[in-house]
Amino acid sequence: MNSALTENQRLIALREQHVPRGIATAHPVVAARTQGAELWDVDGKRYLDFVGGIGVLNVGHNHPKVVEAVRRQVGEISHASFQVVAYENYIQVAARLNKLVGGDAHYKSVLFTSGAEAVENAVKIARGYTNRTAVISFRGSFHGRTLLGVTLTGMSQPYKQNFGPFPAEIYHATYPNAYRGVSSDDALAELDELFATDVAPDRVAAIIIEPVQGDGGFLAAPSEFLQALRARCTEHGIVLILDEIQAGFGRTGTMFGFQHADIQPDLVTVAKSLAGGMPLSGVVGRTEIMDAPAPGGLGGTYGGNAVACAAALAVLDLFEEQDLLAQGETLAAQLRDGLLALQKRYPRIGDVRGLGFMQAIEMVAGDAARSPDAALAQKVIDEARNAGLLVIKCGVHRNVVRFLAPLVTTPEQVAEALQMLEKALATAC
């Protein structure tokens, strides 16, 4: 091995030798340690991490309370499998999720490992409850990388590739996009056309929607759109599933994104920031729906792992003790104001959008159509990394730069990140 290589370069070369190309890594960086909203690579360079494990670290990297909860739990029960014996912290996580999502209504929760698992099981539960088969998701959505997950996902590349045939009875509707001229009324009219031409509503088990599309470009569903979906689902006996995997746990300024629309979903999928970096996901829903599958119909060896549950309880405590929702809203205002100011100086930022601390910029060409400019977005990302800021892209056309900094980021770090981003924009544009 060439001794002139940096440690990053040496390890990236090993990665290319031993890890398949199908799992892409956004940055040629190998992390050595992390804390809060900061990350240091193996060569000692410090970065502001505005990716947060792709929206997983709303309480930040290595929060001391999460670390202590994990250490304590490993010494008691590391793994027993809830399908073999119960353990208290799984039950405690379920109870707290039921209260957070259902309020005073009777809800139940089942825990899994990944967001894709949660989505798959939400569909199973909805089908089991309704005895129907069809599921409607939305163009631009992302619901995971399993075969059903990528079928539900409303983007062709890179997710679908040549992986078919895909599961049947999955349909895609239009998601509102004000920047591209698609109103709630437009999207609802197309949904009604879908009912009329492709699948009758009495054959639809579930409609699954992200309150803010994550990988689809940080598009927020207008309140009136979610309210209309709630009404149509109630009318036709369709289970309404809110995928809160990226938007949940304070990312949008409320605990869950659906709460902005003042609706009550039937099922909610959760993952990512639920457990502060530990792999944990779940489906939370109305008891009569959750109890539809017979014993043995739900599960998974690692689902609701005891260590991950301990981390989740610590995370939920932090939201209560540190008022992270208010803290996130303060940071969100600072970030949004900064992004809007940059947009005035750099017109290739076509749109600044998001909800709460879930913000993004859409990079466009200089033409009248504001055509998506994926190459420019990638250049901004690369130059931001050179300046010390880690961000990643999203959007159907991969021309959107998204910001997923922890809710424990300091105002000084947000200001520093905006300076780094401006430096990147000055070079890229």
Instruction: Check which CATH number belongs to the domain holding 131 and give it.
Output: 3.40.640.10
Q: Average model confidence (pLDDT) for the chain?
A: 97
Is residue 193 situated within a structural domain? Answer: yes
Do 220 and 140 meet the contact criterion of CB atoms below 8 Å apart?
A: no
Report the DSSP pairing between strands 389-390 and 46-49: parallel
Rounded to the nearest angstrom, the gap between the alpha carbon of residue 303 and the centroid of all alpha carbons in its chain is 19
| CATH number of residue 21's parent domain | 3.90.1150.10
Residues 336-376: tens digit of each pLDDT: 999 999 999 999 999 999 999 999 999 999 999 999 999 99
Lowest mean pLDDT among 150-164, 187-201, 389-403: 150-164
Do residues 211 and 247 touch, judged by C-beta distance below 8 A? yes
User: In one letter, which amino acid is 214?
Assistant: G
pLDDT of residue 4: 86
Alpha carbon of residue 168 to chain centroid: 25
Amino acid at 123: V
Would 30 be classed as within a structural domain?
yes
pLDDT of residue 1: 47
Same domain (yes/no): 81, 126: yes
How far apart are the C-alpha atoms of 320 and 309, rounded to whole Å?
17
Last residue of a domain, one of 270, 287, 321: 321
Q: Could you tell me if residue 32 is inside a domain?
A: yes
Same-domain check for residues 182 and 271: yes
Coil, strand or helix at 410: coil
In a domain, 21, yes or no: yes
Tens of pLDDT, residue by residue over 71-110, are 999 999 999 999 999 999 999 999 999 999 999 999 999 9
What local confidence, expressed as pLDDT, does residue 164 receive? 87
In this predicted structure, the answer to whether residue 2 has a pLDDT above a threshold of 70 is no
- Does the residue 2 lie in any domain? no
Whether 345 and 237 share a structural domain: no
Q: Whole-model pTM?
A: 0.96
DSSP code, position 222:
P
- Whether residues 244 and 369 share a domain: the answer is no
Residue 92 structure tokens: 């405690």
- Per DSSP, 266 falls in state S
Q: How far is it, in rounded angstroms, from Cα 324 to Cα 48?
A: 19
Distance in angstroms (rounded) separating the CA atoms of residues 344 and 411:
22
Task: State whether 331 and 412 are in the same domain.
Answer: yes
Neighbours of 275 (CB within 10 A): 31
**Number of domains composing the chain:** 2
Within a domain: residue 232?
yes
pLDDT number for residue 3: 62
Residue that terminates a domain, selected from 285, 300, 321:
321
Does one domain contain both 96 and 237? yes
| Residue 170 counted as domain residue | yes
Residue 378 in this model has a pLDDT that exceeds 70: yes
Co-location of 311 and 359 in the same domain: no
**Residue pLDDT, tens place only, 286-299:** 999 999 999 999 99
In a domain, 196, yes or no: yes
Q: Indicate the residue among 287, 321, 355 that finishes a domain.
A: 321
Do 134 and 211 belong together in one domain? yes
Verify that 44 and 189 share a domain, yes or no. no
What is the span of the domain harbouring residue 42? 7-62+323-428
**pLDDT tens track for 157-197:** 899 999 989 999 999 999 999 999 999 999 999 999 999 99
* Closest C-alpha among 419, 359, 422, 425 to residue 394: 359
Residue 189 and residue 299 in one domain: yes
Instruction: Give the distance from CA 238 to its chain's centroid.
Output: 24
H/E element holding 429?
none
Do 248 and 254 touch, CB atoms closer than 8 A?
no
Does residue 11 sit in the same domain as residue 134? no
Residue percentage of the chain with pLDDT more than 70 = 99
Identity at 52, one-letter amino acid code: G
Rounded to 5 degrees, what are φ and ψ at 205?
A: -75, -40
| Mean pLDDT of all residues in 4-14 | 94
Residues 75 and 38 in one domain: no
